[in-house]
């Protein structure tokens, strides 16, 4: 069996082969090497395996990427790198499942600006012309550039799959330093033929869409539960695959109808628990919106924090999801507020509570008023329902991780080291006077370390080990090793 950690060999081989080509300026003239999309294929490695680690106020975005794929369909979308402080860009994309394996088929639909990375068809990256064009058009585009990418969905239902993308915002076509690195991802689900609204059943609410799409019409959103957060396309109702919804499709749809069986709204079905975990950390950083100002109305007088931090889920409910019953039982993060581990609320109840006005509804969080979108809220609800764990299963009562240090060193060496270096000290999360490194977090806040390893650090290119598909045992081992690193 090949474990995730054993793939180190092939990853290093890639780096080695890429490095030998450096006089040819691989990163520039021939796209980047493969497996640099912060994905399972590269164990989370990104462009900053070589490029300096800086990250700025820009972003990499997936524009019009499908959130539901229909077997046999072709999708065109674009990768946008933006950064007002930079002058051009490069990128790389892959479509993968947890644990590795690319899915579907990437297509070079813009041969001038994009190419398969080192000829590997699982990855598309920029060409030198693409970089030159990004530099030439950057200012006119308001400090950004779009690279067009095509992707053909797989021939069968392979379950959820994820688009992983790295973006590098650069100063010119040659300077290697001072680039800004960005990363993002988007998960797409299989679209059951006939299920127009994406809630997993085929019922009368879908029939309403059949009627709208019939004979070439277009669906109108919003239209009932879940929309407009679920992408609604007539393509999901074109049962015959002839490009239009007609009488034969209507007949096949009637045969496929299985009644109202869905237990959740489409918006919840299609939400991303991993993105939700990153929002739980600091939602405005992850969704790239202005931070809230003032204090959150639910933040109690007994608490000593003020300002934006009082809007972070973790500030009131804890990194261990246990609130006053966990690590925040005392100290500077004490609020007396309970945790969310074991909450009996349904997804709909949670969503409503997070949106409800705090004056009108008891404990209403009013978070939409401060800048969270419905999609953000569904993602965080999905995280609460799917990914909250009992941290006692990962961390011993004395705050240590019961993991194998040898296994952990291996995992740290193929993932974390790319950005944090072998001693975990490349990035200082604290201040010059009061530095904080990976080892410091490991020693002082194992719950935060665990959360950030599983989901990544909000708004940063730090990838998610859950998305990469590492097992709990592997995660515990890397955390145990990380906690042995120097604290200052
Ligand atoms: C194995 C090391 C390595 C990796 C990994 C790597 N690059 Fe590069 N890249 C280089 C080197 C070296 C240069 C400098 C070439 C020069 O100056 O002529 C470069 C240059 C570039 C440039 C143009 C010069 C500039 O201003 O920085 C772009 C754009 C670029 N890389 C994009 C990427 C992207 C996007 C990725 C990730 C998908 C990536 N690179 C990953 C080594 C790498
Ligand atoms: C300023 C403090 C504060 C912040 C920030 C905060 N909450 Fe809460 N939350 C509360 C309080 C107070 C309650 C009610 C607890 C009680 O039942 O006594 C609560 C309750 C909840 C509940 C209901 C749990 C149950 O089973 O009753 C959920 C779900 C929830 N919060 C999710 C979140 C999420 C997700 C975020 C971030 C997007 C968040 N909260 C941010 C204070 C906060
Ligand atoms: C692709 C780059 C990248 C990789 C890989 C990566 N990180 Fe990070 N990590 C970051 C960035 C960027 C930050 C945010 C730094 C900041 O706040 O300025 C961060 C933040 C953190 C923090 C949070 C510190 C704090 O107090 O906010 C911890 C802990 C951490 N990383 C540990 C790890 C561990 C352990 C691994 C390996 C499993 C890892 N990281 C892999 C880039 C990365």
Whose alpha carbon is nearest atom 42 of ligand 3?
462
Pocket test for ligand 2, best of 308, 311, 340, 379 (most atoms within 8 A of CB): 340
Q: What is the C-alpha to C-alpha distance for residues 322 and 314, in angstroms, rounded to an integer?
A: 10
450 lines ligand 2 (CB under 6 A): no
**Mean pLDDT confidence for 320-338:** 98
Of all protein residues, the one whose alpha carbon is nearest to atom 28 of ligand 3 is 438
Say if residue 173's pLDDT is above 80. no
Protein residues whose CB sits closer than 6 Å to any atom of ligand 3: 44, 46, 48, 55, 415-416, 418-420, 427, 429, 436, 438, 441, 449, 452-453, 457, 460-463, 465, 478, 482
> What is the C-alpha separation between 266 and 218, in angstroms, rounded?
19
226 pLDDT band, cuts 50/70/90, is: very low
Structure tokens, 201: 């059943």
Ligand that comes closest to the CA of residue 480: 3
**pLDDT > 70 in the chain, percent:** 91
Judged against a pLDDT cut of 70, whether residue 11 lies above it is answered with: no
Distance 305 CA to ligand 2 centre (A): 16
| Residue 318, token pair as written in the block | 């804890």
Q: How far apart are CA 352 and CA 268, in angstroms?
A: 13
Please give the average per-residue pLDDT across 255-260, as a whole number: 94
User: What is the 444 CA–ligand 2 centroid distance (Å)?
Assistant: 25
**Mutation pick for ligand 3 pocket among 452, 453, 487 (CB with most ligand atoms within 8 Å):** 452
Rounded distance between C-alpha atoms, residue 361 and residue 378, angstroms: 19
Q: How far is CA 92 from CA 38, 84, 265, 266, in A?
A: 10, 20, 33, 30
List, for residues 111-145, the tens digit of each pLDDT value. 999 999 999 999 999 999 999 999 999 999 999 99
Contacts of 245 (CB under 8 A, 6+ apart): 210, 213, 214, 215, 216, 234, 237, 238
For residue 341, the number of C-alpha atoms closer than 13 Å in the C-beta half-sphere is: 16
The pLDDT-based confidence of 26 (bands split at 50, 70, 90) is: very low
Which residue's alpha carbon is nearest to atom 24 within ligand 3?
Answer: 429
Best probe residue, ligand 3, of 44, 416, 439, 488 (max atoms within 8 Å of C-beta): 416
Q: Which atom of ligand 2 is nearest to the CA of 337?
A: 12
Using the predicted structure, report yes or no on whether residue 25 has a pLDDT greater than 60: no
The predicted pLDDT at position 221 comes to: 52
Residue nearest to atom 13 of ligand 2 (CA): 363
| 36, 37, 42, 46 alpha-carbon torsion, rounded to 10° | 50
Mean pLDDT score of the chain: 89
Mean pLDDT (whole number) for 423-428: 93
Distance 27 CA to ligand 1 centre (A): 3
How many whole angstroms from 445 Cα to the centroid of ligand 2?
Answer: 21
In the predicted structure, residue 6 carries a pLDDT above the cut 60: no
For a mutational test of ligand 2's pocket, the pick from 316, 366, 385, i.e. the residue with the most ligand atoms closer than 8 A to its C-beta, is 316
């Amino acid at each position: 069996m090949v474990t995730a950690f054993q793939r180190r060999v092939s990853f290093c081989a890639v780096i080695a082969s890429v490095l030998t080509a450096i006089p040819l300026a691989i990163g520039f003239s021939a796209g980047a090497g493969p497996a640099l999309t912060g994905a399972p294929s590269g164990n989370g490695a990104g462009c900053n395996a070589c490029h300096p680690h800086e990250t700025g106020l820009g972003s990499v975005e997936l524009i019009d990427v499908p959130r539901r794929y229909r077997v046999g369909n072709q999708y065109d979308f674009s990768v946008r790198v933006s950064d007002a402080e930079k002058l051009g860009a490069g990128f790389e994309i892959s479509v993968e499942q947890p644990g590795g394996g690319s899915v579907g088929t990437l297509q070079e639909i813009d041969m001038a600006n994009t190419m398969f990375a080192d000829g590997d068809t699982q990855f598309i990256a920029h060409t030198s012309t693409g970089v030159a064009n990004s530099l030439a058009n950057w200012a006119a585009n308001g400090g950004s550039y779009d690279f067009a990418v095509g992707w053909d969905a797989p021939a069968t239902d392979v379950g959820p799959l994820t688009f992983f993308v790295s973006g590098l915002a650069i100063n010119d076509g040659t300077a290697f330093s001072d680039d800004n690195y960005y990363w993002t991802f988007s998960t797409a689900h299989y679209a059951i033929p006939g299920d127009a609204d994406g809630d997993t059943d085929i019922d009368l609410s879908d029939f309403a869409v059949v009627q709208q799409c019939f004979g070439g019409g277009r669906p109108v959103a919003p239209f009932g539960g879940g929309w407009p957060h679920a992408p609604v396309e007539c393509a999901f109702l074109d049962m015959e695959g002839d490009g239009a919804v007609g009488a034969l499709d209507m007949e096949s749809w009637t045969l496929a109808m299985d009644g109202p069986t869905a237990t959740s709204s489409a918006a919840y079905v299609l939400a991303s628990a991993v993105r939700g975990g990153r929002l739980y950390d600091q939602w405005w950083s992850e969704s790239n919106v202005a931070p809230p100002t003032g204090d959150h109305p639910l933040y109690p007088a007994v608490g000593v924090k003020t300002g934006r931090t009082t809007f972070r889920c973790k500030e009131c409910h804890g990194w261990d999801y246990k609130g006053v019953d966990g690590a925040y039982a005392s100290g500077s993060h004490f609020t007396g507020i309970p945790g969310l581990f074991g909450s009996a609320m349904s997804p709909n109840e949670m969503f409503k509570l997070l949106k409800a006005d705090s004056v009108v509804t008891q404990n209403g969080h009013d978070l939409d008023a401060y800048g969270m979108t419905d999609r953000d809220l569904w993602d965080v609800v999905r995280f609460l329902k799917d990914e909250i764990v009992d941290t006692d299963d990962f961390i011993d009562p004395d705050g240590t991780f019961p993991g194998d240090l040898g296994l952990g060193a291996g995992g740290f060496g193929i993932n974390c080291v790319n950005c944090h270096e072998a001693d975990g000290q490349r990035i200082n999360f604290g201040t010059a006077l009061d530095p904080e490194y990976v080892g410091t977090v490991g020693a002082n806040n194992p719950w935060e370390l665990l959360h950030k390893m599983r989901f990544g650090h909000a708004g940063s290119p730090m990838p998610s080990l859950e998305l990469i598909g590492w097992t709990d045992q592997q995660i515990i081992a890397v955390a145990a090793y990380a906690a042995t690193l120097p604290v200052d």
